[in-house]
Amino acid sequence: MAFTLEVQSDVRPANLPSIWVQALAQHGIAIEFPPNFLSECETGVLIMKVLAAPAALTREDVNEPASAYFEFWTDEDGFGFSTASGRSTVDFAVQCLCAATLADHLDAVYIDPQMGKSARGADALSLAMEEIKYFISTPDEEVYRKFVDWNTL
């Protein structure tokens, strides 16, 4: 089952990777985006290299390069973020935090249609953390996959 998040905003920042790298670092996630990532992309699977992530967000400390991915798109309402079933805890944490930090940066609305909840701006981070804590409490979820290259999920 897919897990989808939305960020409603008319603003389209041109520097998404730098926004996310700095914001995720504040939560203990060291991340790299693909060299050819263009923030004005309309849709696609975004593969990221996670260099480190804390157990508080992923259930186990990640200390080797791991891959994280989610589908990312922009439309007339804003931004979309989706992961498929079989997602790792790293995928889920990165998805939630990328959406929430974007909502915070833009003072936009973060929407979780699965839970029927939303939050604006900085409050999006609290909602994302609530979702992450619930997801990592499920012991049968894979924590991460080793990073191979920018084209391999």
**Contacts by 103-108, CB closer than 8 A, 24 or more apart:** 103/7, 103/9, 104/23, 105/13, 105/19, 105/23, 106/7, 106/9, 106/11, 106/13, 108/7, 108/8, 108/9, 108/11, 108/78
User: What rounded mean pLDDT belongs to the chain?
Assistant: 92
pTM of full prediction above 0.85: yes
What is the per-residue pLDDT for 34?
87
Run of H or E residues at 92: helix 89-106
Answer yes or no: is pLDDT of 25 > 80: yes
Query: E strands of 30-98, at which residues?
Result: 30-32, 43-52, 66-75, 78-83
